[in-house]
Chains A and B, each alone.
Chain A
């Protein structure tokens, strides 16, 4: 029950009790007077007169009081409803914007002030975490550069045995994987801090998709996976060409990696509800529903064991999501175990 209903009910109870007290007092008074005047049947007459007074004056007064009370609680609580709506809209990216205050110094205004203080503290701590990731990924680059460079230099030594060469080369592969993770992390940390600007220009999305389709077929071939381009409408979107190609390649790479041998990948591009809609579906093993909401999380993998057969940096879908959002679009994923998984990217059309 809302506070408003509860307050009104209590108020109605209080008013009714007062009415009873007033009615009782009135009855006593009238009864005494009638007895004094030696009227016949004083009880009946006093009761009749009292009830007439109660119904004609008392009850309307109580109803008016209730209406007034209803209106008062509504007035008193309406800023609370506004506050609730405003708080509902808060998420990690708009912590910087404080809630509007009435400035009249009442209890709710105080509450808003205290709440804004909490937002500011949260914003600070989010910023510190972002900066930490950004600095950490920068700091990792220098030692990584040295490690990669020195390992590569060592590999050039002609006197190495085949086994030593293989060991060094394998180390170099892992170092480069680490470098890719750090790269992805830097990109996302910069994006979080609003330090990446997209170079938007009109881009023919269908051309990028066709280009990507060619690469997808080649990538899928070794596993016997068939790739299909179901539809490819001519669509122009305002976009950063390189980032969109990165998005498409990441999606294709995932659709092939998380698939079954002899499986299928279906891509399509068309207009839908005033936006460009690119979908890519695979016949893969599907994603359990409890895992689905987390697939865009950084470093999240569906399988806890981090399946060693699937190589990747664990940031692919996070990067896809960032690119789609940064273009004013969205990405969603639909899947169920043992069924196909479909990723849908929607991007605003060029006006």
Chain B
């Protein structure tokens, strides 16, 4: 997987590159819009991380140029302005996802992964992690053959974590996908729900499946 990072701020570009490389991506970095367009023309990338605020030609203009040239490479927009209107504007211009600055690295990595592997997402109707199963049609959750009662929100949270099993999920992604909030709720809503979910799926069972990654988010997997 090869990703182009277009970011003029050197330090930001550097830790984004490192984080993506650590996940096994090959990463190219450009610091302005014209170089980015030239690079996208020369190389077929699997995804582009595009900052909106760039010197000269800005990110939205690069995006429109790409789409005009029928280049359908998935694009994740980054913006320091981080406002609701801009998100809509970006998505209308043909972006596939949008992340306001300051973002969490784990979010950025998760979103790039989602962009580049859109089709590879787990689409089966019965999700399974160790002896925990979730039927996405009947909404029935079981662990070790025992039924687990879930509220609607807990169900959505568990489904989201199980579809992303083995990968760290940041709080912002959870808030966006499970609650459909486009703002940072600033409450410990996610933590409280995770605690409740953990009581239901982990308290009376071994091994523990739902783990906290201090400072970054949560992950559902068999090994700690």
- Residue numbers of A with Cβ under 8 A of B are 138, 141-142, 144-153, 155-156, 165-166, 168-169, 172-173, 175-176, 179-180, 183-184, 186-187, 190, 195-197, 199, 214-215, 218-219, 221-222, 242, 245-246, 249, 253, 312-313, 316
Contacts and interface: CB of A to CB of B under 8 A. Distances in A.
A142 B7 CA distance: 11
B215 A152 contact: yes
A248 to B, nearest CB: 11
Given A152-B215, A218-B196, 8 more contacts: A145-B80, A146-B11, A147-B102, A149-B12, A156-B22, A183-B82, A249-B181, A313-B186
A149 B105 contact: yes
Nearest to B103: A145
Contact of B18 (A153, A215, A218, A312): A153
Contacts of B116: none
A94 B80 CA distance: 30
A142 B105 contact: no
A153 B84 contact: no
B151 interface: yes
16 contacts: A141-B81, A145-B9, A145-B12, A145-B80, A146-B15, A148-B105, A149-B16, A152-B105, A153-B15, A156-B19, A175-B102, A183-B82, A183-B184, A195-B83, A196-B83, A245-B181
B24 interface: no
A245 B180 CA distance: 10
A245 B175 CA distance: 13
Interface in B91-119: 100-106
A187 B12 contact: no
B187 A253 contact: yes
Contacts of B11: 146, 149-150
B164 to A, nearest CB: 18
B85 interface: yes
A144 B153 CA distance: 32
Given A141-B80, A141-B82, A153-B18, A146 B189 contact: no
Nearest to B181: A245
Interface residues of B, number: 40
Contacts of A175: 102
B136 interface: no
Contacts of A156: 19, 22
Given A142-B101, A145-B102, A190 B83 contact: yes
Contacts of B12: 142, 145-146, 149
A288 B187 CA distance: 25
A168 B215 contact: yes
Contacts of B70: none
A218 B193 contact: yes
B176 to A, nearest CB: 11
B16 A173 contact: no
Contact of A187 (B18, B83, B102): B83
A218 B187 CA distance: 12
B142 interface: no
A197 B80 CA distance: 18
Contacts of A152: 15, 19, 104-106, 215-216
B223 to A, nearest CB: 15
Contacts of A179: 102
Contacts of A141: 80-82, 101-102
Contacts of A215: 153, 189
A151 B11 CA distance: 12
Contact of A219 (B106, B187, B214): B187
